[in-house]
Chain A
Amino acid sequence: MQPKRIAWILTAVIVLLAVISLYMIFPQLRGLSKGNQHIARITEDGVVLYEIDLDAVETPYTLRIDEKDGEYNIILVEPGKISVQESNCPSQVCVRMKKISTGAMPITCLPHRLVIQIYDHYMIQSDSTNDHE
């Protein structure tokens, strides 16, 4: 096949991927916060450490999670919100992600293999048909 032809096909693939991605991002960004429940699930290496009902939180508190080799994350739990306050990981991406209150973007601390994800009503429903999204 001509390189030019292949180039067109590849361009089409890229555009298609981008459109599908945008289509998937939009419902994530809006409207998810209206679920009835906000359960924050904190997992390390895929093992669930905590499950916190964020709607039941009345006064903010912090949780310290110690991983191996002196690694730690300090998690701030507030009414309806959760965030990583402090971490001794090199990238600090988890701290920069700020507070989350919906399931749109989980907080991930990849160096410590820690994931904080909020499951709301919408998520729990679609979880039964699909194991992500």
Chain B
Amino acid sequence: MNNRFFTTRRLALTGIFAGIALALHVVEGFLPPVLPIPGVKLGFSNTITLLLMIWGHPLEALVVLVLRILIGSLFFSQATAFLYSLAGGISCYLVMLTIGKLLKNRYPILISIFGALTHNVAQLLVALLLTGSPGILVYAPVLILSATGAGLITGLAAQFTLPYIRRIRF
């Protein structure tokens, strides 16, 4: 990474957003799960990834995402959870980036829903690899529906935040 991209201001902002993403992630982990099905969750820290991608720069979004997953897994969980998070997070990031380009970063809700869908599908595939039992594919429809709902909510949150956050100069 060259020094020109990460100016002091940008570095500080990236740090702040990494902190916000981590806080959202940790607080969400303390909440009781909505449905007792593995993989069903809100994924609120994805709002931060989406905001940074649209308002900031994709590279920053990636840095914040990876930091959040790394530190988040250190806090909570074991190696398997890290694998799930990383697979879900990175694939979600790539799809949101592509769809965001196609839509010229308008319609954050749509971008967010597709991100959530990709996240859940990727995690299901990792679970399939790790458990080796195709039986868990019966979760797929539930996970798709829950991703649509979660993506809608986090997307709305991003849409409502964008006008305010745009007042901050990057």
**Chain A residues proximal to chain B, CB less than 8 Å:** 1, 3, 6-7, 10-11, 14, 17-18, 20-22, 24-25, 28, 41, 43, 45-47, 90-91, 93, 96-98, 103-106, 108, 110-111, 113-115, 117, 131-133
Q: How many residues of B contact A (CB 8 A)?
A: 37
Complex contact B36–A96 (CB within 8 A): yes
List the B side residues contacting A7 at CB < 8 Å.
Answer: 103, 106-107, 110
Q: When the two chains form their complex, are residues A110 and B107 in contact, meaning their CB atoms are under 8 A apart?
A: no
Which of A22, A41, A103, A114 is close to B145, meaning CB atoms less than 8 Å apart?
A22
Alpha-carbon gap, A6 to B139, bound state (A): 29
Given contacts A3-B103, A22-B141, contact A110 B148 (CB under 8 A): no
Residues of A within 8 A of B135 (CB): 41, 43, 106, 115, 117, 132
Number of A-B contacts (CB under 8 A): 112
The minimal Cβ–Cβ distance linking A15 to chain B, given in whole angstroms, is: 9
- Give the most central of B38, B106, B110, B135: most A CB within 10 Å: B135
Q: How far, in angstroms, from A95 to B136 measured CA to CA in the complex?
A: 17
B37 within 8 A of A: yes
B4 part of interface (Cβ distance < 8 Å):
no
B139 proximity list for chain A (CB < 8 A): 105-106, 108
Contact: B127 with A110, CB < 8 Å? yes
- Residues on B with beta carbons closer than 8 Å to the beta carbon of A46: 131-133
Q: Is the CB of A24 within 8 A of B141?
A: yes
Q: How far is the CA of A32 from the CA of B84 in the complex (A)?
A: 31
Q: Which residues of A contact B90 (CB under 8 A)?
A: none
Secondary structure at the B interface, as helix, strand, loop or mixed, is: helix
A115–B144 Cα distance when bound, in Å, is: 20
Q: Which of A18, A24, A28, A110 contacts B131 (CB 8 A)?
A: A110
Which residues of B lie under 8 Å from residue A104 when comparing CB positions? 138
Q: Among B80, B110, B113, point to the contact of A111 (Cβ < 8 A).
A: B80
Q: Using CB atoms, name the residue of chain A closest to B131.
A: A113
Least CB distance, B63 to chain A, in whole angstroms:
27
Instruction: Take A14-B113, A96-B36 as given contacts and tell me if A43 and B104 are in contact as well, using a CB distance cutoff of 8 Å.
Output: no
Interface residues of B in 84-130 (CB under 8 A from A): 84, 99, 102-104, 106-107, 110, 113-114, 117, 127, 130
Assess A10 versus B114: contact at CB under 8 Å? Given A3-B102, A93-B37, A97-B37. Answer: yes
Interface centre among B78, B80, B133 (most CB of A within 10 A): B133
**Residues of B contacting A10 in the complex (Cβ-Cβ under 8 angstroms):** 99, 103, 107, 110, 114
